[in-house]
Amino acid sequence: MGTSIQSVEIGKFNLRALVKTYLELTKLRIVLLLLFTTVTTMVIAAGGIPKLDILIPTLIGGAFAAAGASAINQYIDRDMDAMMSRTARRPIPSGRVAPLNALLFGMGLLAWSVLVLAMWVNWFTAVLALFGGLYYVILYTLILKRNTVVNILIGGGAGAVPVLVGWAAVTGTLSFQAFILFAIIFYWTPPHSWALALLVNKDYTLANVPMMPVAHGEEATRRQILLYSVQLVLITLLPLPFKFLGSIYIVAAIVLGAGMIYTAIKLIQKADGAAARTMYKYTTSYLAFLFLVMIVDRLIH
């Protein structure tokens, strides 16, 4: 009897560990941030809370697409991940998941994403979600990441596709408003990613990945972070002339944008790891708060 109880407890522990390991493959925190941008876009497109029969399957399908692309990305990058201290403990290089299993898991999630979105939302949304996943896996991971310094500049568009997914889910089409939201995330990605690259520059150098600090040096990277921060702030003001967000959003965008530029200037002045860490953390909070204010503005107006 005691042996049976122990076996059950061990089985539960193993199942729990297995689930946790596969969740690591999905990069859950990134998935949640992408889903948040999707929800924001759906609220804007719907002019309020979207219908649950559209919202729920869109979030499920979007989560599957992002998680699947992440798992395939880790399958492709497993050799590079093993060389870098930041990623060496990921499921594949640490030996907790076989590479083939990770690949099949990722492909399965992408397939489920298309199925869910096509059946319960619309085919256009399903195609966009699949496009986002393939953009990340093929264009960024396979073609750009190891071969060119513009990997983040072009590949970052994959993280902006979820806003297109959200807009298409509600409207069945795309419009200039959706592409403005796309541009916000597109221009946010370089400052965010390059700030992280400054922090882990040794890892990228060891793995021979041509991120901006590796290819052009840390000083040039800091200047580029400021340049793209300024461009980002200007783009975040576009909803005002195009009149799809109101005064609450614009005030917040100006305040948050001023903080973004100030932090980027401090990064140039101090030029140390602490400043890079502050920039990285600020960019993460910046995007979350900016999209949160979009929801508040849209619901109030």
pLDDT of residue 13: 55
Closest CA to 43 of 157, 178, 185: 178
116 token code pair: 């869910």
User: What pLDDT is recorded for position 199?
Assistant: 94
Neighbours of 229 (CB within 10 A): 28
Residue 263: per-residue pLDDT: 98
pLDDT at 8: 43
Please state which of the ranges 11-25, 39-53, 222-236, 268-282 shows the lowest mean pLDDT: 11-25
Please determine, for residue 163, whether its predicted confidence score (pLDDT) is greater than 70. Answer: yes
C-alpha Rg value of the chain to the nearest Å: 20
Q: Please say if the pLDDT value at position 27 is more than 60.
A: yes
Query: What integer pLDDT is reported at residue 1 of this predicted model?
Result: 54
pLDDT score of 9 more than 50: no
Encode pLDDT of 213-263 as tens digits: 998 999 999 999 999 999 999 999 999 999 899 999 999 999 999 999 999
pLDDT of 5 over the 80 cut: no
Q: For residue 11, what pLDDT is reported?
A: 52
Neighbours of 32 (CB within 10 A): 12
Angle at 130 between CA 128 and CA 131, to 5 degrees: 60
Question: Poorest-confidence range of 9-13, 140-144, 172-176?
Answer: 9-13
- Residue pLDDT, tens place only, 165-217: 999 999 999 999 999 999 999 999 999 999 999 999 888 888 888 899 998 99
Is the pLDDT at 3 greater than 70, yes or no? no
Whether the pLDDT of residue 66 is over 80: the answer is yes
Average pLDDT over residues 49-66: 97
Query: What's the pLDDT at 155?
Result: 83
The DSSP call for residue 87 is T
Q: What is the mean pLDDT of the chain?
A: 93
pLDDT at 222: 97
The pLDDT, as a whole number, for residue 156 is 83
Rounded to whole angstroms, how far apart are CA atoms 80 and 137? Answer: 15
For range 54-68, the mean pLDDT:
97
CB 28 within 8 A of CB 63: no
Could you report the per-residue pLDDT of 147-160, keeping only the tens digit for each?
A: 998 888 888 899 99
Q: What is the pTM of this model?
A: 0.92
Q: Enumerate residues 6+ apart whose C-beta is below 8 A from 56.
A: none
